Amino acid sequence: MTINGKAYIAGIYEHPTRKATDKSVAQLHAESAAGALADAGLGPDDVDAYYCAGDAPGLGPLSMIDYMGLQNVRHMDSTETGGSSYVVHIGHAAQAIAMGKANVALITLAGRPRADGMATGTAPRNYGSDAPDVPFEFIYGPNVVNMYAMAARRHMHEFGTTSEQLAWIKVAASHHAQHNEHAMLRDVVSVEDVVSSPLIADPLHRLDCCVISDGGGAFLVVSPEIAKSLDRDCVKVMGHGEAPKNIMRGQVDLTYTGGHYSGPQAFEEAGVKPSDIDYASIYDSFTITVLETIEDLGFCEKGKGGAFVSDGNLISGQGKLPFNTDGGGLCNNHPMNRGGLTKVLEAVRQLRGEAHPAVQVKDCQLALAHGTGGSIGTRMGSSTVILGRDDA
Amino acid sequence: MSAERVLPAPPENVEHTEFWAACNDGKLMLPRCKDTNQFFWYPRKTSPFTLSSNVEWIEASGKGEIYTYSVMRRSDPQYVIAYVRLDEGVTMMTNIVECDPNTVAVGMKVELVMRGSEGGQKVPVFKPA
């Protein structure tokens, strides 16, 4: 039993806003949904499945289905694994479609942390004082940046990874972002620019961190029959994986991510290997997130990520693994501090041949999108999807 | 060295009463699964090895070494967050205190010290051994 070829991504939409002072969260979700439906040539009445995660207001799917007036929903999923949720949702949608439970699944993300003045990276995140881990962690001042910083420090210790190597990830993202008119940061930066930017939490510098942005996005996962009926170019869902990773009863290891599990699941289901991938969207909350993920997905050996990402190897047209050609979270956007959904969007653009011409991968047949959620330092959810052109 | 960051009080949870009471007596108690004789972290009354409630408390030696750390440069006062691997074999999140943050290193030997948090509850942190 497999989902390979049982579902397609039809419509996609990335909300162009990066600061949404005049729009509500529900409104951003709905505008994103409308954009994805228009892209596919479908309407609200065609939607029979709706998925969202913790960024959706109120009671998630119940609130948003009501707000958007969706009349025909018979399948829902609100799996919440932070920024990786939307990549998880693709697998769940494909499963539902394969089982005949749905034909058109709508997945949305939106938020406005910037308009709300949220200190995304440096303020403590309290996931609820009833969370059983909180009393043993929250008091010590964990936040998003220093958790990823501790992973980077350990990776440096074990494998000799350097700040300059991490910086190459940001350099590559900036090369791509210069061509994206919507990107928040469009200036091309150098390794020197990254390592000389202020330290936020050792060893991560300001330019090792992603942007804080408002916005959102949406996409549709549809059955093969619906995909065939549309005029729009659809991409095939070929393989999917999802995995939790945590502090493992006190056996902490911050040198790898849940991608160590989700990646092999996705490759096996798709029947392809890392060297077959033409383009990869890899969640980039921080440079270290990308480096560990690239290793975990098998693009290089564990511990060799620093050498792999150096010297422009992630830059489209130059390197072996073109990544995040929209500029990613490091330069383009990071709606509601959740980057999984936008990773899928750029992978679909690449497979359709609709990325910016300056960053479009030639003859892009196979793409990977990977989401990371929660915290690399404690509890995380990872999800990988492999997508292909219909003839792939 | 600037003033030390005052830790917030740990949120109350009925599952953790004995653990925090022991901290106030200067003892760091580690939970151990009696079914498997394995320590685990963080404290809970359900074994994450067997899902049984067969859990006992063992006083930690208070010795360990830094697995990883980060200096929160953007905070005032700055503070060092770390994972410390205890000699008993589990790794816990904590702060490193009583030292210049610039001298902290992975592998550094550290020892337990109890600090009063806001409201007085003592919480375990570590200093260079």
DSSP per-residue letters across A317-336: TTSSS-B-TT-HHHHT--BT
Residues 6+ apart with CB under 8 A from A138: A124, A126, B8, B10, B11
Residue A1 has pLDDT above 90, yes or no: no
Q: Please give the Cα distance from B40 to B91 (Å, whole number).
A: 9
Determine, for residues A250 and B117 on separate chains, whether the beta-carbon distance falls below 8 Å. Answer: no
Helix runs in A114-256, H state only: 144-159, 163-177, 191-195, 224-229
Burial class (CB in 10 A: 0-12, 13-18, 19+), A134: middle
Residue A368 has pLDDT above 50, yes or no: yes
Phi and psi, residue B98, nearest 5° = 60, 40
Convert the pLDDT of each residue in A193-222 to its tens digit.
999 999 999 999 999 999 999 999 999 999
Q: In the predicted model, what is the mean pLDDT of residues A74-100?
A: 97
For residue B71, which residues of chain A lie inside 8 Å, CB to CB?
A: 199, 201-202
Determine, for residues B83 and A250 on separate chains, whether the beta-carbon distance falls below 8 Å. Answer: no
- CATH level 2 (architecture), domain B14-128: Beta Barrel (2.40)
Residue spans per domain, chain B: 14-128
Name B68's bridge partners. B83
For residue B9, which residues of chain A lie inside 8 Å, CB to CB?
A: 139
Convert the pLDDT of each residue in A105-145 to its tens digit.
999 999 999 998 877 777 766 666 688 999 999 999 999 99
Burial class (CB in 10 A: 0-12, 13-18, 19+), A72: middle
Determine, for residues B70 and A129 on separate chains, whether the beta-carbon distance falls below 8 Å. Answer: no
Average pLDDT over all residues of chain A: 96
Contact (Cβ atoms closer than 8 angstroms) between residue A188 and residue A178: yes
Residues 6+ apart with CB under 8 A from B129: B63, B109, B110, B111
Comparing CA positions, the residue from A217, A218, A193, A215 lying closest to residue A205 is: A193
State the amino acid at position B64 in one-letter form.
G
Q: Is the ipTM reported for this complex over the cut 0.95?
A: yes
Determine, for residues B73 and A200 on separate chains, whether the beta-carbon distance falls below 8 Å. Answer: yes
pLDDT score of A391: 75
Convert the pLDDT of each residue in A279-311 to its tens digit.
999 999 999 999 999 999 999 999 999 999 999
Contact (Cβ atoms closer than 8 angstroms) between residue A326 and residue A332: yes
Mutation pick from B68, B92, B126 vs chain A, by most beta carbons of A within 10 Å, is B68
Contact (Cβ atoms closer than 8 angstroms) between residue A106 and residue A47: yes
Q: Please give the Cα distance from A28 to A20 (Å, whole number).
A: 9
Q: Please give the Cα distance from A132 to A118 (Å, whole number).
A: 25
pLDDT score of A118: 77
pLDDT score of A378: 97
- The Cβ of residue A6 has, within 10 Å, a number of other Cβ atoms equal to 17
Convert the pLDDT of each residue in A218-263 to its tens digit.
999 999 999 999 999 999 999 999 999 999 999 999 999 999 999 9
Taking the CA of residue A140 and the nearest CA in chain B, the distance in Å comes to 6
Determine, for residues B11 and A134 on separate chains, whether the beta-carbon distance falls below 8 Å. Answer: yes
Helix runs in A210-317, H state only: 224-229, 259-270, 287-296, 305-309
Contact (Cβ atoms closer than 8 angstroms) between residue B55 and residue B62: no
Determine, for residues A134 and B44 on separate chains, whether the beta-carbon distance falls below 8 Å. Answer: no
Contact (Cβ atoms closer than 8 angstroms) between residue A176 and residue A325: yes
CB-nearest to A141 from B5, B15, B90 is B5
Which residues 94-123 of chain B have a CB within 8 Å of chain A?
94-95, 106-107, 117, 123
For residue B73, which residues of chain A lie inside 8 Å, CB to CB?
A: 198-202
pLDDT score of B1: 47
Convert the pLDDT of each residue in A43-68 to its tens digit.
999 999 999 999 999 999 999 999 99
Convert the pLDDT of each residue in A349-362 to its tens digit.
999 999 999 999 99
Which residues 232-251 of chain A have a CB within 8 Å of chain B?
247, 249-251
Contact (Cβ atoms closer than 8 angstroms) between residue A372 and residue A84: yes
Burial A87-109 (b: 16+ CB within 10 A, else e): bbbbbbbbbbbbeeebbbbbbbb
Comparing CA positions, the residue from A244, A215, A243 lying closest to residue A385 is: A243
Name B71's bridge partners. B80
Domains of chain A (ranges plus CATH)? 8-117+210-388 (3.40.47.10)
CA A247 to chain centroid: 22
For residue A377, what pLDDT band results from cuts at 50, 70 and 90? very high
CB pairs under 8 A between A and B: 118
Phi and psi, residue A209, nearest 5° = -100, 150
- Crossing angle of helices A61-68 and A25-40, in 10° steps, is 70
CB-nearest to B93 from A132, A140, A249 is A140
Determine, for residues A154 and B106 on separate chains, whether the beta-carbon distance falls below 8 Å. Answer: yes
The pair of structure tokens assigned to A120 is: 């995304």
pLDDT score of B124: 98
Q: Please give the Cα distance from B16 to A68 (Å, whole number).
A: 44
